[in-house]
Amino acid sequence: MTELNAVLETAARDFDNSLERLFRLVRIPSISTDPAHAGDCEKAAQAIVDDLKSLGFTAEARMTPGRPMVVAHYTPKEATRKTPHLLFYGHYDVQPADPLELWETPPFEPMVKKAKNGVQRMYGRGTADDKGQFMTFIEAARAWISATGSLPIRATFLIEGEEESGSPSLVPFLKANRKELSCDAAFVCDTNMWDAKTPAITTRLRGLVHEEITITGPRIDLHSGMYGGPAMNPIRVLSKVIAALHDRNGKVTIPGFYDGVSDLPKATKKQWQSLDFSDAKFLKEVGLREPAGEKGKSVLEQVWARPTAEVNGIWGGYTGVGTKTVLPSQAHAKFTFRLVGKQDPDKVLRAFQRFVKGLIPKDCRVEFSGKGGGSPATEIAEDNPFIARSAKALKDEFRRDAVLMGSGGSIPICRFFKDILGMDSILVGFGLNDDAIHSPNEKYDVESYRRGIRSWVRIMGELGK
């Protein structure tokens, strides 16, 4: 029996215990955004520390202005300078469970139920996001240490407690502990597979910048019978701004918006086209039929590799029951821009502000929220050796190639790892699109948990060669 097979068999024998260890963690309502659960966050952090210490890690819960950070290290006795040093990142905090009345099982009393299709699923807040995901790291490490007495790599674990509330303590913590936390690469387990039988590595994450504007016309709301016509209506102005954001082909019209956006590499485009994905089905599931983005770009390309300008909210004037015939003094809107490639969030924000100012008539003025901020996109080269070796390990487990895919969302931690710690992030997750993270009845397939543990056993072994 090979060493790897021995570790995999150990993980298989211990799987029921692995499930119970996860359930013990899920039972702790570690809701970071609610001060009433600050003690639960500390309890969850300490439970992880105690578990890692039992495996031979040096581990502690580091206090921050918010929730604790779990930091743990493991160095094999036979480690040399050539032994890879890898950071494994996850978060123990969870979203609030509200609305409670929509849960079919108590959110913090995890249980396994069989679906109509026979698939075993565990239900509970945090089963998929992110306790069930990062516990696959820990259980893989447990199997290696139990079967062989050691890990094949040097490992640092960083499990934070504020991801679901914006990670306010994370950047200062990374900067203060840069030397300790800098590794060869970071592995993040907070993403999805392509489908239940096909693993995936996420290589592209869109960045994000947001803005809110207020357009003011008259100093007070006006009677539309007395002033309608000669008085400028701020809602009309706002409507023109929004209408001017895109041309008839769906492209964003802000000058300079596409600076830093590159065409999709031919090899990547070919791989995405080969995927079993239906544009029509994707839209039909949300009650739509026609793609509304850039003409000539597939839905996957639009979501994974193209920038967007979106209106997230509009309000102004009278919005109550019935009619009130006024011309409002003000109109408001919220905007977000998803970024790709080398787009600069600050540059995009300034370009948008100039664009809006150029559309404001003399009798109106515009104010911006002033909050600005944002994060650039993250792209990891697909020929990155950590990606290549992780993909090999995933293929060994699933008997099919891992999809190198993009994500329409943003995971700012990956930029922080790159910009502060100088290392790339490899995103390998085992969630599914129907896991209902952040929603009632969050679930994680038992098989996802099992294959996740086995996959990390293989990845650790492959990278330790």
* pLDDT surpasses 90 at 372: no
CA distance 445 to 122: 6
- Predicted confidence at residue 412, as pLDDT, reads 85
Q: In the predicted model, what is the mean pLDDT of the chain?
A: 96
Domain segments of the chain as ranges: 3-205+378-463, 207-261+307-375
Please state which CATH number belongs to domain 3-205+378-463.
3.40.630.10
- Predicted confidence at residue 305, as pLDDT, reads 95
Quote the percentage of the chain above a pLDDT of 70.
100
Any residues with CB less than 8 A from the CB of 441 and at least 6 apart, and which?
A: 102, 103, 104, 105, 123
Helix/strand/coil percent split, the chain, to 5: 35, 25, 40
CA distance 263 to 275: 19
Packed helices 3-13 and 446-463: angle between N→C axes, nearest 10 degrees: 160
Mean pLDDT of 204-212: 94
User: Which two three-digit tokens encode residue 222?
Assistant: 């006006």
Whether residue 190 contacts residue 411, with contact meaning beta carbons closer than 8 Å, is answered with yes
Quote the percentage of the chain above a pLDDT of 90.
94
SS3 state of residue 432? coil
CA distance 132 to 122: 10
Render pLDDT for 130-174 as a digit per residue (tens, 0 to 9): 999 999 999 999 999 999 999 999 999 999 999 999 899 999 999
Any residues with CB less than 8 A from the CB of 297 and at least 6 apart, and which?
A: 306
Please state which CATH number belongs to domain 207-261+307-375.
3.30.70.360
pLDDT band at 1 (very low <50, low <70, confident <90, very high): low
Render pLDDT for 251-294 as a digit per residue (tens, 0 to 9): 999 999 999 999 998 989 999 999 999 999 999 988 999 989 99
Mean pLDDT of 355-366: 97
User: Which two three-digit tokens encode residue 226?
Assistant: 């007395």
Picking from 179-183, 185-189, 372-376, which range would have the lowest pLDDT averaged per residue? 372-376
CA distance 136 to 197: 17
Whether residue 83 contacts residue 76, with contact meaning beta carbons closer than 8 Å, is answered with yes
Task: Give 187's Cβ-side CA count (13 Å radius).
Answer: 28
CA distance 129 to 75: 28
Render pLDDT for 394-440 as a digit per residue (tens, 0 to 9): 999 999 999 999 998 888 899 999 999 999 999 999 999 999 999 99
- CB-based burial, 414-430: b 16+ in 10 Å, e otherwise: bbbbbebbebbbbbbbb
Render pLDDT for 235-253 as a digit per residue (tens, 0 to 9): 999 999 999 999 999 999 9
Distances (CA, A) of 19 to 23, 24, 52, 110, 142: 6, 9, 16, 10, 13
Q: What angle do CA 404, 405, 406 make, to 5 degrees?
A: 145
User: Which two three-digit tokens encode residue 316?
Assistant: 């102004």
* DSSP letters for 367-417: EE-S---EE--EE--TT-HHHHHHHHHHHHHHSSPPEEEEESS--HHHHHH
- Predicted confidence at residue 410, as pLDDT, reads 82
pLDDT band at 362 (very low <50, low <70, confident <90, very high): very high
Render pLDDT for 114-123 as a digit per residue (tens, 0 to 9): 988 999 999 9
Length of the chain: 465
Render pLDDT for 309-331 as a digit per residue (tens, 0 to 9): 999 999 999 999 999 999 999 99
Mean pLDDT of 376-394: 95
* pLDDT surpasses 80 at 180: yes
* pLDDT surpasses 80 at 373: no
